[in-house]
Chains A and B, each alone.
Chain A
């Protein structure tokens, strides 16, 4: 009793003290957390600012400094074409496959097995891109060569398969490798959406006598449509920016063509940077960085669209 009396601090004071040190710690910790967020913003701003700064000298580049092109637009346009072409090929292959694989994991496989299958698909995403590139360059190109020969012989009247077939290292092969790399991303996102379909809708469909496919077509797909679109867009973003697989697989000559199986292939922005960087100097570096800026803007637009569609789908659901 007397000790309390002697103590100048009333009972409320220790609490106050606790509170105040807590607040000090709080503001420090809060500051750290906010600071980390700020660093992320600065980093992203830095990416944009430094790319723009280093691209400016490239605007006036021409001739030798722009790798023989008249100006930067003429130089980058065929590369952009190649980038989009390879990514579109990849998606044409990967999107239906991914939806199928996601359905296996979400609706077809027994639950216990589905987890394991999900891990397997994750492993597909874990393999480094350079290894896929090496595999495409050394192994896959040999496998697809006879297929291209067949395509050329039987479907050669189509502009895509004009040929001549002299190598397996074509933009189509690059597209296949990109498809393998985009597949796990699209699958993972589709799987999420499929699993979110209301169970009631699915059970109602089954109770009305729908087969499993009818249930998926009538209950799952309408619900998941925007999610699938957004997943495909995000996969496209990945395929657009992929460097190593294309740089290793493609035998590129930087032309604009829809001929998918000849040895004359359009290159992509990212692969072009990786292949030409080693011997670039002076303004050439700026030209390459300007290409990178274009790539950044394109992937940004695609990803933004993907996220926007996903968000809109969520809001509607």
Chain B
């Protein structure tokens, strides 16, 4: 398929067969890539072993050899264009490997350094009265749970209804165009600005330097609503127009068409989008730092006083410093909390995928 015509087709019958030009250029064998890779990293392995380089050095030197070797070989046999193509292919795949590096490194480091912190006490105790060793993150887990659940209760209905307006009622009128634009703007709001908004709001209501958990939920809602609107909107647009027309033709009122036909059809996608939005805001730190504050004990009342959350706890423990003998325990606690937070977020992501695939046949595709 990739054979290229080197010369125009010969029409002159008198052409001497001895000067026959082949129609195809020679190609590298299909194992060429594997072979070049093996040779490159093998060659790099010699000095790496002899001079005891770190693994990263061996990988980088091997990669450089590989990038030089395969295109050069290809250039000699297949010609310049194929060589460039092979070079770009290597580079493009390398970007992917490079992009995966931080993901693997972060997850590995978090598990490696956080696993040691996990214990029964870690999940059942708060930091009340604990300075160095011991204590746990129960208060922060509860705080994250409460604040995120309230944020979801605020955001998901508003987000879904706004998307319903955009798709079912708005029909590109002025209000819906403005709303689409504003949702775009909201998507780009930096999380700390959402926190400052909640802070400014509650400063007006409660006086200077308010610390209140419900404010954290409101700040998270500002971040969450646009995500829910976007994903729900996409899903509603996928619902076939025939379903709506069919229901309306049977005399079903529009609102029942929406609640009984359109929304159930798109349910899988909507739930997936909402779950991903929850996962996204569960890890938000900046707004909660500003308005929900920090607390060493457990607080179950979102309307009164500060409430500790997992991300804020990680930030706090990592930056606290203080007595040198306490610092290692604080850092270990930060990693442990990071592990718990990552597990929560990844579980939510997994849940979203599972829900999405469970419900997806309903869209009739």
Give A contacts to B, CB under 8 Å: 15, 18-19, 21-23, 25-26, 28-30, 32-37, 39-41, 43-44, 46-47, 50-51, 53-54, 96-101, 103-104, 108, 117, 119-124, 126-135, 137-140, 180, 183, 187, 209, 211-214, 216, 234, 237-238, 240-244, 247-248, 270, 273-275, 277, 281-282, 285, 288-289, 292, 295-296, 299-300, 302-304, 307
In the assembled complex, B93 has its CB within 8 A of some CB on chain A: yes
Output the nearest chain A residue to B349 by Cβ-Cβ distance: A126
- Contact at A40–B225, with CB atoms within 8 Å? yes
- Contact at A211–B81, with CB atoms within 8 Å? yes
Subset of 15 A-B contacts with CB under 8 Å: A18-B253, A22-B253, A30-B254, A37-B166, A43-B186, A50-B197, A50-B201, A108-B93, A127-B103, A243-B190, A274-B192, A285-B199, A299-B188, A300-B185, A307-B184
Complexed CA–CA distance, A302 and B109 (Å): 34
Complexed CA–CA distance, A82 and B170 (Å): 42
In the assembled complex, B295 has its CB within 8 A of some CB on chain A: no
In the assembled complex, B69 has its CB within 8 A of some CB on chain A: no
Collect the chain A residues with CB atoms within 8 Å of residue B169's CB. Answer: 30, 33-34
In the assembled complex, B172 has its CB within 8 A of some CB on chain A: no
Contacts A50-B201, A127-B106 hold; do A295 and B193 have CB atoms under 8 A apart? yes
Complexed CA–CA distance, A23 and B256 (Å): 11
- Contact at B92–A131, with CB atoms within 8 Å? no
CB distance from B5 to the nearest CB of A (A): 7
- Contact at A97–B191, with CB atoms within 8 Å? no
Q: Select one of A33, A40, A117, A248 contacting B186, CB under 8 A.
A: A40
Bin the interface of chain B by size: 35 or more
Of the listed residues B165, B209, B349, the one surrounded by the most CB atoms of chain A closer than 10 A to its CB is B165
- Contact at B286–A244, with CB atoms within 8 Å? yes
Q: A36-B157, A37-B175 are in contact. List 20 more A-B contacts (CB 8 A).
A: A22-B254, A25-B256, A29-B254, A29-B258, A34-B165, A36-B159, A40-B225, A54-B200, A99-B95, A101-B99, A104-B93, A104-B96, A123-B103, A128-B345, A130-B311, A131-B341, A134-B318, A216-B88, A285-B203, A299-B188
Interface 1/0 per residue, B327-365 and A, CB below 8 Å: 000010011001001100110010001000000000000
- Contact at B189–A25, with CB atoms within 8 Å? no
Interface 1/0 per residue, B76-102 and A, CB below 8 Å: 000001101100110111111011101
Complexed CA–CA distance, A133 and B341 (Å): 14
Output the nearest chain A residue to B282 by Cβ-Cβ distance: A128
- Contact at B193–A131, with CB atoms within 8 Å? no
Q: Select one of B179, B199, B315, B319 contacting A41, CB under 8 A.
A: B179
Collect the chain B residues with CB atoms within 8 Å of residue A139's CB. Answer: 105, 109
In the assembled complex, B255 has its CB within 8 A of some CB on chain A: yes
In the assembled complex, B251 has its CB within 8 A of some CB on chain A: yes
Collect the chain B residues with CB atoms within 8 Å of residue A299's CB. Answer: 188-190, 193
Collect the chain A residues with CB atoms within 8 Å of residue B178's CB. Answer: 41
Output the nearest chain A residue to B184 by Cβ-Cβ distance: A307
In the assembled complex, B70 has its CB within 8 A of some CB on chain A: no
Complexed CA–CA distance, A304 and B184 (Å): 8
Collect the chain B residues with CB atoms within 8 Å of residue A119's CB. Answer: 353
Of the listed residues B222, B315, B345, the one surrounded by the most CB atoms of chain A closer than 10 A to its CB is B315
Collect the chain B residues with CB atoms within 8 Å of residue A120's CB. Answer: 100, 103
Complexed CA–CA distance, A219 and B191 (Å): 38
Contacts A100-B94, A108-B92 hold; do A33 and B165 have CB atoms under 8 A apart? yes
Complexed CA–CA distance, A307 and B226 (Å): 15
Question: 9 shortest A-B CB distances, which residue pairs?
Answer: A241-B190, A128-B283, A100-B95, A22-B253, A36-B161, A29-B255, A303-B188, A33-B165, A50-B200
In the assembled complex, B194 has its CB within 8 A of some CB on chain A: yes
Output the nearest chain A residue to B346 by Cβ-Cβ distance: A126
- Contact at B229–A40, with CB atoms within 8 Å? yes
Contacts A180-B102, A295-B192 hold; do A211 and B84 have CB atoms under 8 A apart? yes
- Contact at B85–A211, with CB atoms within 8 Å? yes
Collect the chain A residues with CB atoms within 8 Å of residue B289's CB. Answer: 274, 277
